[in-house]
Chain A
Amino acid sequence: MAKDESGALARFGVTDRDIEQALGRVKVSNVDYADLYFEYCQSESVSMEEGIVKRATKSIGQGVGVRATAGEKTGFAYSDELTSKDLNIAADTARYIANSAQGTTPVPVTHRPALARNLYPHDRANVEVATRDRVTLLNAIDAEARRYDPRIKNVMAAYNTEYKVMLVATSDGVMVGDIQPLSRLQVTCIAEENGNRQVGTFGGGGRIGLEYFQNDQRYLQFAREAAREAILNLSAVEAPAGVMPVVLGGGWPGILLHEAIGHGLEADFNRKKTSAFSSLVGKRVASDVCTIVDDGTLPFRRGSLNVDDEGTPTSRTVLIERGILRGYITDKLNARLMGIPLTGNGRRESYQSVVLPRMTNTFMLAGESDPQDIIKSVKKGLYAVSFGGGQVDITNGKFVFSASEAYLIEDGKITRPVKGATLIGSGPDILTKVSMVGHDLKLDEGIGTCGKEGQSVPVGVGLPTIRIDEITVGGTKA
């Protein structure tokens, strides 16, 4: 399919006239902005357990979301029917917040920019992988993980793909469409030895197709990594409890940035002054070795987008520059109300959800330290390289993230693996305790999903090896 809005329009079966009329109906004089968001999404999942590829599911959804904003108010309606009648009903519902009669003058949608770039050119057949190819791949993963170590007793793996076509038409007269492929391969292994059972996981993906996993037999590497973590955890000892120095490895531990500062810098919380960061622009919130960006323009990345869900091209936004808080990530509503630049971070889970300012790929730029020196600098502490999820309370700034692979550091050396533990800190404070940043920036493998107000969107994170001088570690050993 051609990657332009006319191709997308054809799929939705609506005419320009339908769109311009519906926009006209909702964009009355006291409505500041309105948009129509059309979406078609097909997702497929094939999963394996106990050595059998036994589950295959497919989901098809399409619909339109119609939104009007007036001052701080948002009116929103959605429909899974795409007739002009349904469009008009949704437009009338969204307009309810403006307390005025329906508009009668169609809004001309004249500006139809071609995408300036394509961050994830794809071949549809390669995204919608044939089920038998997925089966082959999953079977090989099972065999590889079991071959890695006979103590691996069960292997679960799933290969999920999503093929999303979106088209947004706005009352600014802009119409832009995009095709957003997304794939993810996830492996979980359970190891058992003398009644001790442990789990290991590994996964990755992005806005890519099957060849990504096939290159250099990357899928087998996923299997070995999950198996390795499960076997490692068989010998894990109790994690320590209390305040100590922690060294975070590169890549996915960047979830620290996502929780500790990323959410707190989303414009909506700051407009409402409910974020712990609300009055801190221009102030120091990190040590001067920390520069942190949100970048939606990285090719093929899980968190990347050509345009956000309001049609704004994504960008690279500096959040923290050498320790100083520079700015927020925005959508149209919050940029307008706050009088700050639009950063292309207006995202929504689907046509059934409203746009919110959300992160894309959030990471810290590389520093100058040698990762080995960072570990050597710690007398007694924790080295954490892999994490499960995290969460933050925006208002008081307290955040957590939970390590799934971690080691003790004793006298500058990595010694024993420890069981998983949650780390807790305060967002506006924690990065002031970052004393060393490695030269080894790594982005995560492409597994992150961020939740906000019940909406999930794919995101990326990244981090070089860093040293945090003190953070509370929630282990069980005093």
Chain B
Amino acid sequence: MTREIAAPDYTDVAQDLLARAAKHGATAADVMVADGETLSVQVRMGAVDRLTKAREKRLGLRVFFGQRSASASTSDFSLDSLDRFVGETCALAKAVVEDPVSGLPEPGHYATESPDLNIYDATKLQTDQQIDLALRAERAAFAADSRITNSEGGECDSSSGRIILANSHGFFGQYANSSFSLSVSPIASNDAGMQRDYWYGVNRAFSKLESPEAIGQEATRRTVRKLGARKVPTGRLPVIFDPEVAGSLLSHLCSALSGYALYKGASFLIGQLGRQIAPDFVTIYDDGRMPGGLGTRPFDGEGLPTRKQAMVERGRLASYLLDTYSGKKLGLPSTGNASRSIGESPSAGPTNFYMVPGTTGPEQILATVKQGLYVTDLIGFGINMVTGDYSRGASGFWIENGELAYPVEEITIAGNLKQMYSTIETIGSDLVFRGRIASPTVKIAEMMVAGN
């Protein structure tokens, strides 16, 4: 839409920074550089609402002075500033306490190959093309049902970026990725009030993005069915999580399996490695090499190779999510799960994390419930990672004799995650990746539902 600036090569900046750190006396260092561009289009009620375009860059430096370390980041790449930046980062490292466990991964473990993982699609969308996609999605949402009376709008985003990681042990790696997404959020109304929902598609390849019509229609289907929602009486009930909210149960599992939460004593899964935490039909993988995956990358935030590994194998907790530091604290090797924000020291997190689907269709799962709750939305932060205690706001549908009877809102569901995982009763066959964490439909035997 306007002049494009040629993408500069930041390889030299990374190497230069390592050299400067060494000159300041750092005994080891690593540098991460990220740059990218993004175009975001939001439309509302058939017209453009907001256009955002940007190119950005940022670099992060971590330095070690023996076993003291500090991290810093900046968006200012001018040479004068960088020299001052390196000096300040080194001063920061000297001011903290020695941490005997700190350090870069040992040589010999770093990623060496660079497989094609299908995470970069060079397609450049024009602004008008993105406007058109967003408008079509919103139009499809309105066309699908006359009860759609308003809209929070449609959005089409495209972005591409590059990551460079280099360290003083000689590791150098880089990769590019891209992302295309389309979403719409219609509002339905009738005498009972207004309801909003949304639907979306996101993919690393533009050609694999779902059509705007499919996204708009699904958004409307999800929205109008909420009209006339009411509360239900308080009681213990079987609860079915649709795939969107079932994914949140896996997110909580990731938080509990993070090496950092574990060694700090801040996870309800401490000491559970090798133990049965779910029924034997539950298997969960983390796969950093899944082609085209939204969490896919050739190496992790420390330069170690990513891989596919079982996290929960037939109900047994098979692995934690670890980087080098949290692994050492727990006496275990890294699992290649270092995740890294620019300018932060690593943490541990999932790549593509999913539950292996079962063979039961979602309708068949519904059919097993005489009276219960089908949850489609969860809000709030009522999760205690130390104890696993769980209490969140929910909405969805009342299940009566195996079918969705009417929409439900203003209720909470409560339990304990440890117990919830161990009382999973059925897993659906409907696994679709719409993010880095994906789950099929999940039925939990019983939870406390608070309503009237």
Contacts and interface: CB of A to CB of B under 8 A. Distances in A.
Contact of B264 (A49, A135, A476): A49
A156 interface: yes
A213 B88 CA distance: 25
Given A422-B412, A476-B448, A74 B97 contact: no
A56 B93 contact: yes
Given A74-B51, A190-B266, A389 B196 contact: no
Contact of B265 (A93, A197, A352, A399): A197
A57 B187 CA distance: 43
Contacts of B48: 73, 97
A57 B345 contact: yes
B382 interface: yes
A424 B54 contact: no
B99 A54 contact: yes
Interface string B384-408: 1011010111010000000000000
A395 interface: yes
Contacts of B88: 58
Nearest to B92: A56
Contacts of A421: 382, 391, 412, 414
A422 B392 contact: yes
B391 A54 contact: no
Contact of A56 (B70, B266, B393): B70
B255 interface: no
A282 B392 CA distance: 33
24 contacts: A50-B264, A54-B97, A55-B345, A56-B92, A57-B92, A58-B72, A60-B85, A78-B56, A96-B2, A243-B234, A276-B194, A352-B54, A390-B381, A393-B379, A399-B393, A400-B392, A419-B384, A420-B389, A421-B391, A422-B414, A424-B410, A474-B392, A474-B413, A474-B448
Contact of A272 (B76, B152, B380): B152
Contact of A274 (B152, B387, B410): B152
B168 interface: no
Given A388-B382, A421-B391, A421-B414, A478 B54 contact: no
A131 B95 contact: yes
B200 to A, nearest CB: 14
Interface of A: 46, 49-50, 52-63, 72-80, 89, 92-94, 96-97, 130-132, 135, 153-154, 156, 188, 190, 192, 197-199, 239, 241-243, 272-274, 276, 352, 354, 388-396, 398-402, 419-422, 424-426, 472-478
B370 interface: no
Contacts of A97: 48, 51
B54 A79 contact: yes
B65 to A, nearest CB: 12
A454 to B, nearest CB: 11
A395 B379 CA distance: 14
Contacts of B344: 57
A258 B240 CA distance: 31
Interface string B77-97: 000000001001101110111
B208 interface: no
Contacts of A52: 97, 99
Interface in B27-75: 44, 47-58, 69-75
Given A52-B99, A422-B382, A475-B450, A57 B70 contact: yes
Contacts of A132: 95
Contacts of B391: 239, 402, 420-422, 474-476
Interface residues of B, number: 83
Interface of B: 1-3, 5, 44, 47-58, 69-76, 85, 88-89, 91-93, 95-97, 99, 102, 127, 150, 152, 187, 193-196, 226, 229, 231, 234-236, 264-266, 270, 343-345, 377, 379-382, 384, 386-387, 389, 391-393, 395, 409-416, 448-452
A135 B94 CA distance: 12
Contacts of B264: 49-50, 154, 156, 190
B96 A80 contact: no
Nearest to B50: A74
Contact of B379 (A54, A63, A398, A478): A398
Contact of A197 (B53, B379, B387): B387
B409 A396 contact: yes
A31 to B, nearest CB: 13
A64 to B, nearest CB: 11
B267 to A, nearest CB: 9
Contacts of A62: 75-76
B86 to A, nearest CB: 12
A477 B264 CA distance: 30
Contacts of A239: 391, 414
From B69, B231, B382, B387, residue with most partner A Cβ within 10 Å:
B382
Nearest 5 A/B pairs, CB to CB: A474-B412, A400-B380, A400-B393, A131-B95, A402-B382
Contacts of B265: 153-154, 190, 192, 197
Nearest to B226: A396
Contacts of B54: 77-79, 352
B393 A424 contact: yes
A395 B175 CA distance: 41
Given A396-B194, A400-B379, A420-B391, A74 B99 contact: no
